[in-house]
Amino acid sequence: MLQAIGAPSVDALFEAIPEKLRLGRALDLPQAASEQEVMAELGALSARNASLETHDWFLGAGTYAHFVPSAVDALAGRSEFYTSYTPYQPEISQGTLTAIFEWQTMICGLTGLDVSNASMYDGASATAEAALMAMRTTRRHKVVLAGLHPHTRDVVRTYLDGPGGVVLEAGREASGRSAPLAPLVDRDTACVIVQQPSFLGCIEDLAAAAEAARSVGALFVVTVSEALSLALLRAPGELGADVVCGEAQSFGIPMGFGGPHLGFLATRDKHLRQMPGRVCGETVDARGRRGFVLTLSTREQHIRRERATSNICTNQGLMLLRATIYLALLGRVGLRALARQNVAKAAYLRARVAATPGLSLPFSAPVFHETVVKLRPDDSAAAAAERALADRIVPGLDLAPWAPELGPALLVCTTELTSRDAIDRLVRALAGGAA
């Protein structure tokens, strides 16, 4: 390699690095291992992790445990897709463009809006991009947040710091829902962003939030952490949302230690030119055959930087493909039936909690599949988690860092993978009994 690049020695190759910055000794590395030894060591490390294969799972809070049909892996793994997952030469990527077009159509159906982009990196960045979109559209600088996941809230604040955005946050009512937004909005408000369901699992009153935004001429943005809820709850677009965005990891994408995820964003026709990312459209070729093209690509790689709507460099193509396959497999009826299963499991959990001494439900607002469980005042979420983990249960999210005013409490999630037996065992562990 030295000969190929014209360097006489390794020392000569690195002579531009100041002497004081050089290590000056050999790296302290073990001897190389065989493939068999490496695989055995990696397997032992992997076995230390809790997973869906080893534990009953009640942890949600933005990444959700759902069953992924094997057909998703089989189809998404075809080389025609995974070697051309981003259409840099769109005219020869018709399979990929077809999947994007189907995805956009499905997202419009779920959100109740007119047009969707070709996906984004994740729900948090999609939410932040929606805030920037509202600021461009209204030429205002204030953004009001309600019920957002703490990490999404942090991402929004980071994105808006450069353009000079001002972020306000709504309080919480005793029911668990966000407090009325009217006192926070004024003629400087670019948008109101409400998470549905909220971070604490409560289903928000979107119609009231839409009215608060509309009263001052602001856009109403709904962000969705659990995309499956769109199959059962009334579409946000029908309740007045101008933009609906969020996270679609639940559609055929495994949890994967928190990524990769899949952001989505949809809006009304009149806001199309301000929407970030790509839009795939339908057309006909020179022979009159149906085909697909990238209709809009308003990003800094394609147009003048100052006119770009986003510096997001691509859509999340492979994850979009998985989600599109998943949605096509389940269909409208199957997706709704799956959502009903999730709601039913949450209802059973809430009934068991309500009937168990020492446990309580602090909020009365309806939920989808996540709910807050309050523990005894003399208990702690960490101790409860240890009791659950001893019975191979991942119990939920300790809310101490996020909602300390609740006292010892956990955010618990139930999906179609949750069994009645697992719920019973979890409730006993949280109550302090033998699981």
Q: Decide the pairing of beta strands 189-195 and 142-146.
A: parallel
Which pLDDT does position 407 carry in this prediction? Answer: 95
Report the topology of domain 70-327.
Aspartate Aminotransferase; domain 2 (3.40.640)
What pLDDT, in 10s, does the model give residues 405-426?
999 999 999 999 999 999 999 9
Section 216-235 average pLDDT = 97
Q: Nearest 5°: CA angle at 248, between 278 and 91?
A: 30
What pLDDT, in 10s, does the model give residues 276-289?
888 999 999 889 99
Distance CA 78, CA 74 (A): 7
For the chain, what is the largest distance between any 2 Cα atoms, rounded to a whole number of angstroms? 78
- Radius of gyration of the CA atoms of the chain, in A: 25
Give strand pairing partners of 393: 56
Distance CA 27, CA 47 (A): 29
**3-class SS of residue 409:** strand
Type of residue found at 427:
V
Which pLDDT does position 435 carry in this prediction? Answer: 43
What pLDDT, in 10s, does the model give residues 56-72?
999 999 999 999 999 99
Q: Is the dihedral of CA 111, 343, 331, 149 positive or negative?
A: positive
Which pLDDT does position 303 carry in this prediction? Answer: 63
What pLDDT, in 10s, does the model give residues 351-399?
999 999 999 999 999 999 999 999 999 999 999 999 999 999 999 999 9
Which pLDDT does position 213 carry in this prediction? Answer: 97
Type of residue found at 318:
L
What pLDDT, in 10s, does the model give residues 21-38?
988 888 999 999 999 999
For the chain, what are the domain ranges?
56-68+331-430, 70-327
Q: At what angle do helices 123-138 and 150-161 cross, to 10 degrees?
A: 40
Which pLDDT does position 24 carry in this prediction? Answer: 85
Q: HSE-up of 236 (CA within 13 Å, CB side)?
A: 33
More confident residue, 198 or 94: 198
Q: Quote the percentage of the chain above a pLDDT of 70.
A: 94
Which pLDDT does position 313 carry in this prediction? Answer: 56
What CATH class is the domain 56-68+331-430?
Answer: alpha beta
Query: Which of these ranges, 75-89, 136-150, 390-404, 410-424, has the smallest mean pLDDT?
Result: 75-89
Contact 368, 229 (CB under 8 A): yes
**Has residue 434 got a pLDDT over 80?**
no
Structure tokens at 157: 């604040």
The chain-wide mean pLDDT, for the chain, equals: 92
Which pLDDT does position 298 carry in this prediction? Answer: 57
Which pLDDT does position 85 carry in this prediction? Answer: 61
Name every residue whose Cβ is closer than 8 Å to that of residue 113 and which is 6 or more positions away in sequence: 235, 236, 237, 241, 243, 244, 266, 267, 268
